[in-house]
């Protein structure tokens, strides 16, 4: 069995986007880690929020 490195999931907060963490992401990737850093729908960085969030109103 090999020495597999863990996958790093980077979830930025509030208004930050993965671009803000590019140096950390690049450093981890160059060290052999697989890095996942999805954009959050609240940042509107990857498209319109209307297509991704559903709010159901109840009376």
Domain assignment present for residue 31? The answer is yes
Given this model, what pLDDT does residue 58 score? 59
Query: What distance in Å separates the CA atoms of residue 58 and residue 55, rounded to the nearest whole number?
Result: 10
Q: How confident is the model at residue 45 (pLDDT cuts 50, 70, 90)?
A: low
Closest Cα to residue 26, out of 35, 13, 17, 16? 35
List the domain range (segments joined by +) for residue 23.
Answer: 7-51
Closest Cα to residue 9, out of 44, 40, 41, 38? 38
29 Rama sector, left if φ>0, alpha if ψ -120 to 50, beta otherwise: alpha
Write the pLDDT tens digit of every residue in 10-43: 888 767 777 888 999 999 999 999 999 887 766 6
Total domain count for the chain? 1
Closest Cα to residue 43, out of 22, 13, 23, 21? 13
Domain assignment present for residue 2? The answer is no
| CB atoms inside a 10 Å sphere around CB 11 | 10
Domain assignment present for residue 58? The answer is no
Domain assignment present for residue 42? The answer is yes
pTM score over 0.85: no
Domain assignment present for residue 36? The answer is yes
Domain assignment present for residue 59? The answer is no
Domain assignment present for residue 30? The answer is yes
């Amino acid at each position: 069995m090999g020495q597999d490195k863990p996958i790093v999931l980077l979830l930025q907060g509030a208004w930050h986007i993965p671009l803000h963490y590019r140096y950390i992401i690049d450093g981890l990737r160059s060290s052999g880690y697989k890095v996942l850093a999805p954009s959050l729908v609240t940042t509107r960085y990857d498209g319109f929020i209307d297509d991704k969030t559903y709010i159901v109103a109840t009376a």
